[in-house]
Amino acid sequence: MKKCFFAVSLVAWILCLPLEAQNGNKGSRLNSFTPGTIWKDNNGVHINAHGGGILYQEETYYWFGEHKTEGRGGNVAQVGVHCYSSTDLYNWTDRGIALSVSDDPASDIEKGCILERPKVIYNKKTGKYVMWFHLEPKGKGYGGALVGIAQADEVTGPYTFIRSTRATPKSWPVNVLDLHKRPLPEKYMGERANLEPTEHPDSVNTLGRDFVKGQHSRDMTLFVDDDGKAYHLCSSESNSVIHIAELTDDYLDFTGKWVRAFVGRRMEAPAIFKKDGLYYFMGSGCTGWRPNEARSAVAPSIWGPWTELGNPCVDADKETTYHSQSTYFLPVVGKEDAFIYMGDRWTPENAIDGRYIWLPVEFKDGKFILHWYDEWDLSVFDKKE
Ligand code: GAL
């Protein structure tokens, strides 16, 4: 009888343990962040969730990102979107592949496509988890400039691919100009991946060019506001303008209400957070996998007007964003005004080796700033000035 009681208690105790403890964290348990180092999951394997974003659901954080593989070939999607979960943000449990690429050559997400910067949001109205990502059909470089949309009933998936599309087809932004609606000279009808440094997007009317087909959507993120409205932010118009577009109530489409921001500023890697009613934006310049100096901005409304605040990085190596590129701002639940900058330190020659640069967001003189820390923990958010 005693033995039976012991066995029942043991099973009950195991069931109550957080998942990462049940799986047996093969590395030692972490209690700090060490940006740029190998970050092991519960199996002792470097976390594989690049260009990622995080969703908080029922006291657990879920990290979704690009699953990379070894070598240069590992930059394209050989596997899909990887998911990890954590209750403390330091220790992550491998939850497997949330969205798998397809072996079907007819699929938009055929193995070998480019699938980048996946972001997952939860729709309270439909009870579904919705994933958007940057998608480039296999073998076509970055000319597609599409978003892919997928959906799941469970947070960890499996996600079902729904469709791919350009952004906001056949709708004009709220700040459209007359010049965008004029017919285009023939020589400007061809799409180009990037504009010449001397070309302003309005001088070649990238917006009018893509009106029917839909606007480019390359680097992207999603943002859900306090009222439940969701927005898609992307690098558009040959990477020269950021587009910010409202999503439908089910988060599966664009409403057609959208705005152009930072026209001609050529930014990628959009990331956004909200504090005290203000919207803060961060992006990078356009140098591919090579890091560059970040930009930041603030606005009283997601529709703008956006005021640029300069490079948020303040310590040595600030010109390269500490060798990283923004992907997401993570609000830390239960701590006031606590946001974590999530960036990628890409290693394109061996994609799987890419590192994560997580740093606490600090505020100074109406701006947000990022200091470098070799090691830090969440207690930084408890210290008030
Ligand atoms: C970066 C972009 C990455 C990836 C890369 C390809 O600028 O942020 O997501 O697209 O270019 O060169």
Domain boundaries, the chain: 41-382
Distance 289 CA to ligand 1 centre (A): 5
Residue with CA closest to ligand 1 atom 8: 269
- Does 41-382 carry CATH code 3.30.160.40? no
pLDDT at 200: 92
pLDDT at 358: 99
Question: In a mutational test of the pocket of ligand 1, which residue from 219, 240, 324, 344 has the highest number of ligand atoms less than 8 Å from its CB?
Answer: 219
Distance 154 CA to ligand 1 centre (A): 29
Model confidence, pTM: 0.93
pLDDT at 350: 98
Distance 338 CA to ligand 1 centre (A): 27
pLDDT at 26: 58
Taking CA atoms, 310 is separated from 39, 186, 282, 289, 294, in Å, by 30, 37, 9, 21, 8
Residue ranges of the chain with per-residue pLDDT less than 50: 1-8, 10-25
Residue in this structure with the two tokens 């599409």, named with its chain if needed: 146
pLDDT at 192: 73
Distance 38 CA to ligand 1 centre (A): 21
Cα 126 from Cα 111, distance rounded (Å): 29
Ligand 1 atom closest to Cα of 235? 8
pLDDT at 8: 47
What number of other Cβ atoms are within 10 A of residue 29's Cβ?
11
pLDDT at 257: 98
Alpha helices in 182-277 (DSSP H): 206-209
pLDDT at 182: 87
66 lines ligand 1 (CB under 6 A): no
288 lines ligand 1 (CB under 6 A): yes
pLDDT at 372: 98
